[in-house]
Amino acid sequence: MFSKNLEAIQKRIASAANRAGRDVSDINLLAISKTFPVDSIREAIECGQLVFGENKIQEAVGKIEELKDAGIDWHFVGHLQKNKVKYVPGRFSLVHSIDSLELAHKLHQESEKQGLVTRILIQVNVSGEASKSGTPPENLKVILERAREYSGISIEGLMTIPPFDPDPESARPWFRELRELRDDVNKVFGLNLKHLSMGMSRDFEVAIEEGATWVRVGTALFGGRS
């Protein structure tokens, strides 16, 4: 099942990139394996998918240990609690969900302590939806101004989760806003934030049209979660 789903998703990614006049190699597929068992991940690996996203530290640490020889690139996409930050450096190659200066500083300290640099994205709550994590857009510059000096982290872009709506088009303004925000801070600070992590199973094509470089796809690859 996974191989068929993967092929279908890859075709849709290519079509969306084509519509947007983008190079498909600039778009990365993150398979969201949260709640799925190790066997499902093994099946995905056999199909050539090697980049996976988890949203709970405890679950992820167990999977990372069990699959440590599989050559997997693990990303963290969930809300990161400060007391769990110590488990991140060396385990995750990219953290998509840093949403405060305090959290960025804590990760910087833990990474430095371990002699590592952790790549991160800043999660921005562009819609202002109360139930979503993320820093408000107006706080982004404050975070970047300070956090770009932290040697234990490398800021590589932004992430967002739009409000749920069955219509994929409803997410377009939020995706566009994140891209414009990224372009703005790049100009203001002379940065080169390359990545935009946006778009999930139902709206990743719209996200690609608006500039996504990482799309986070779970159910469309693995099937429904139990």
Range from 93-102, 129-138, 200-209 carrying the lowest mean pLDDT: 129-138
Residue 195 DSSP SS3: strand
- pLDDT tens digits for 158-167? 999 999 999 9
Q: Enumerate residues 6+ apart whose C-beta is below 8 A from 2.
A: 40, 43, 44, 47, 49, 221, 222
The closest alpha carbon to 98, from 135, 62, 132, belongs to 135
Closest Cα partner for 116 from 84, 145, 150, 82? Answer: 150
Average pLDDT of the residues in 96-120 = 99
- CATH C-level class of 2-222: alpha beta
Bridge partners (DSSP) listed for residue 196: 158
For 199, the token pair is 């778009």
16-30 mean pLDDT: 99
User: In which band, very low, low, confident or very high, does the pLDDT at 226 lie, cut at 50, 70 and 90?
Assistant: low
Asked whether residue 20 carries a pLDDT value surpassing 80, the answer given is yes
Q: Facing residues of 135 across strands?
A: 124
Q: Are strands 51-54 and 73-76 parallel, antiparallel or unpaired?
A: parallel
Q: Is the pTM of this model over 0.95?
A: yes
* Residue-averaged pLDDT of the chain: 98
Looking at residue 224, what is its pLDDT? 84
Model pLDDT, residue 96: 99
Residue 84's pLDDT band (boundaries 50, 70, 90)?
Answer: very high
**Burial letters for 61-70: b for 16+ Cβ neighbours within 10 Å, e otherwise?**
bebbeebeee
